[in-house]
Amino acid sequence: MVRRRDFMKLAGAGAMYSGLAPVFGRETGSSFPLSQEEKKKDLFGIGIAGYTFARVPIEKAIEIMKRINVLNLSLKDVYLPMNSNEATIKSVIERFRAEGITVYTVGVIYMKSEQAVDQAFEYTRMAGLKMMIGAPNYELLPYVEKKVKEYDIRIAIHNHGPDNTLFPNATDIWNNIKDRDQRLGICLDIGHTTRDGADPSVDAERYRSRLFDIHIKDVTAAAKEGKTIEMGRGIIDIPRFIATLRKIKYSGMCSLEFEKDMNDPLAGIAESIGYFKGVAAV
């Protein structure tokens, strides 16, 4: 298991593969593309979960993503309110695209009524996307399934750990969707999974057939009191998790959701992405 004592060696590798230019002493905008061998090794991509940027302006979010050379974004409604019209939605998506950033999904979207479900699917459709990250109330799942079939849009239901009785873990999500349309799946938050007492590597393998998206982070404890911390400083076995993703041939995104310092997140994001990519490069 790769722990903190190995971080600097791995961070160097992570910097090389993630283009952490200003943080590690190269010019802004420089990057180091993966070799052909490495491109073949991993099917999954790396992104940023939009809640990471909940307290920074859109310009700062774009700057951070370009500096760390992570260009896939799960867009939270902080930059695109749910009641936005189609023109506004397309303009925001295009703003990221113009900077080389791909908005690959939206969410997490909470749904407490059929009207909210309707709005979520229209919002996703107007964004030109085929997947959302969501958390509908349990009683709405039959209606969500109906909309999934109508729109041909997948929904990845996000687990929120022991703080929340709504989908606290992947097992709960699985038990509620396993007999429903295959386009209902799971967004596995490995931090909340660990805080709820489960093993994210076990859950990723167990529910691989419905694993649509992953939120990556590290936490200080396998308990409700556990807090987000830079990846590699906490208790989650990241090398084992990456090995599991390779084993199950996971081909979705692993998006960092960094909640330790949301007012000034760059350092924590850079360290976490560097660690994750450093481990993946070994």
Mean pLDDT of the chain: 90
Give the C-alpha distances (Å, rounded to integers) separating 149 from 19, 141, 155, 175, 202.
Answer: 40, 12, 11, 20, 30
Higher pLDDT, 166 or 16: 166
Q: For 222-231, give one letter per residue: b (16+ CB within 10 A) or e.
A: beeebebbbb
Residue 15: band (very low, low, confident or very high) from pLDDT cuts 50, 70, 90: very low
Of the candidate CATH numbers 1.10.260.40, 3.40.50.720, 3.20.20.150, 3.40.50.460, the domain formed by 4-281 belongs to: 3.20.20.150
Does 71 score more than 80 pLDDT? Answer: yes
pLDDT in tens, 226-275: 999 999 999 999 999 999 999 999 999 999 999 999 999 999 999 999 99
pLDDT for 33? 53
- Closest residue by Cα to residue 217 from 225, 207, 205, 226: 226
pLDDT for 41? 76
Does 69 score more than 70 pLDDT? Answer: yes
Contact 147, 125 (CB under 8 A): no
Which residues lie closer than 8 Å to 63 by C-beta, 6 or more apart? none
What's the pTM?
A: 0.88
Does 6 score more than 80 pLDDT? Answer: no
Does 19 score more than 60 pLDDT? Answer: no
Query: What value does the mean pLDDT take over residues 119-136?
Result: 98
